[in-house]
Amino acid sequence: MNGVTQLHRPRRVAVLSVHTSPLEQPGTGDAGGLNVYVSQTTRRLAAHGVAVEVFTRATSSDLPPVAELAPGVLVRHVTAGPYEPLTRAELPGQLCAFTAGVLRAEARQEPGHYDLVHSHYWLSGQVGWLARDRWGVPLVHTAHTLAKVKNAALAEGDTPEPRVRVIGEQQVVDEADQLIANTAVEAGQLTDLYGADPDKVRTIAPGVDLDCFRPGDRAADRAALGLPAGALVLAFVGRVQPLKAPDVLLRAAAELLARGVVARSELRVLFVGGPSGTGLEQPAALQELAVALGVTDVVRFLPPQVGPDLARVYRAADVVAVPSHNESFGLVALEAQACGTPVVAAAVGGLPVAVADGRSGVLVRGHATADWADALGVLAREPRRRAALGEGAVRHARSFSWDRTTDALLAAYADAARALRRSLPRVEVAV
């Protein structure tokens, strides 16, 4: 267990995920990679004997106060504001109510109920900062995305992250005992943009569920989805919002048709997911763009998929596109590769780690339609190249796993506990 002793392994961890629950379906609203991360790591922490309680905001009066995610993992629904989804701009106004709910839950337990707090996203970090001080336990924080990074790479028409978030993130970075970065790039952003203490930053890559996402029978998966066996299938999976740039794939597909790279009867483009973030302001924008480009006959829109159904989509595709303007890592890219499907991704954020350029997929610099059409066109014309990248994709994905991620988290928890003990004043006993 990476040298983690029972002495420093926590007995019970309070995981904070204010704005989205691990019980929610990823792919729409605020549910995405963070949900997957929390769900996968908490299950494995529990398997290692660490009890986990996840605190999230209740978005319906029908939700029970406490639900079981998995044996050893409880999800506590905290009442904070109205029983309805709130935008991230509205959520800071509910942090006081949410914090009160977390502290009250702990107050009903014996002293020392939680050994550590792990917060996800800056809103949770604000709550974790107070809980850490109140309970006298370490605070480990995972940002997942950073406002300063997002604002430096905004999609056209997207809304900048507000100043309140930038300030809030800075406060959490200053206060956390350990900061978990997904990649070395993110670790550098924490130190360079937020002045984080390098000794408090630990790089731990997310994982992929290799039992669920694995190679299979592409022909059978296509038949199940009603896709032509011999078609060139391009897929986008994720929340439909400017940040994720699904329009880049749509425009590139139209360009492939215009260039005559692929016949219209032989092309299918799948978009799997629902509107999110600023995409909620124009939920039909992608469909309208398909009409404007004249490609509605080759495009299919599917709702978010789970587990085996999502794996089927990945395996049915010849290429999965991840054209995001910013990604702290890119779990979709990893899941697709685990299924044996090469990925064409933007060379941003953590995607150069998630995708091995030239071995498991192709990285594209920028978001110009011509560049994306070039990259996709090469793979469209060279099935042997696609097959070689698909084999490399499986090998690359197997170097990541949620078990490895969780082991590294346990080591980070132990370091945070040791650091806290060293910082406590020593009490001299008179004799």
Annotated binding site for Mg(2+): 314-315, 317, 341
- Largest Cα separation within the chain, whole Å, is 90
Q: What is the CA radius of gyration of the chain?
A: 22
Q: What is the DSSP letter of 154?
A: P
Conformation bin of residue 268: beta by default, left when phi > 0, alpha when psi is -120 to 50: beta
Burial profile 307-336: b = 16 or more Cβ within 10 angstroms, e = fewer? eeebbbbbbbbbbbbbbbbbbbbbbbbbbb
Least Cα distance to 92 among 63, 118, 120, 125 occurs for 125
- Write out the binding residues for 1D-myo-inositol 3-phosphate: 19, 30-35, 88, 121, 145, 165
Distance CA 209, CA 255 (A): 34
Q: What is the DSSP letter of 391?
A: H
Report strand pairing: 343-346 vs 319-322: parallel
- Write out the binding residues for UDP-N-acetyl-alpha-D-glucosamine: 25-26, 33, 239, 244, 305, 327, 335
Distance CA 21, CA 25 (A): 9
Q: Are 342 and 315 in contact (CB under 8 A)?
A: no
386: which residues sit within 8 A by CB, 6+ positions away? 318, 319, 342, 379
Checking 185-192 for CB contacts under 8 A at 24+ apart, the result is 185/349, 185/350, 185/352, 185/353, 186/143, 186/146, 186/328, 186/349, 186/350, 189/146, 189/148, 189/149, 190/143, 190/146
| Burial of residue 431, with CB atoms counted within 10 A of its CB: 0-12 exposed, 13-18 middle, 19 or more buried | exposed
240: which residues sit within 8 A by CB, 6+ positions away? 246, 271, 273, 274, 275, 276, 279, 283, 286
Backbone angles phi, psi at 76, to 5 degrees: -100, 120
Residue 420's CB is within 10 A of a number of other CB atoms, namely 17
The DSSP result for 90-108, as a single string, is: TGGGGHHHHHHHHHHHHHT
- Write out the binding residues: 19, 25-26, 30-35, 88, 121, 145, 165, 239, 244, 305, 314-315, 317, 327, 335, 341
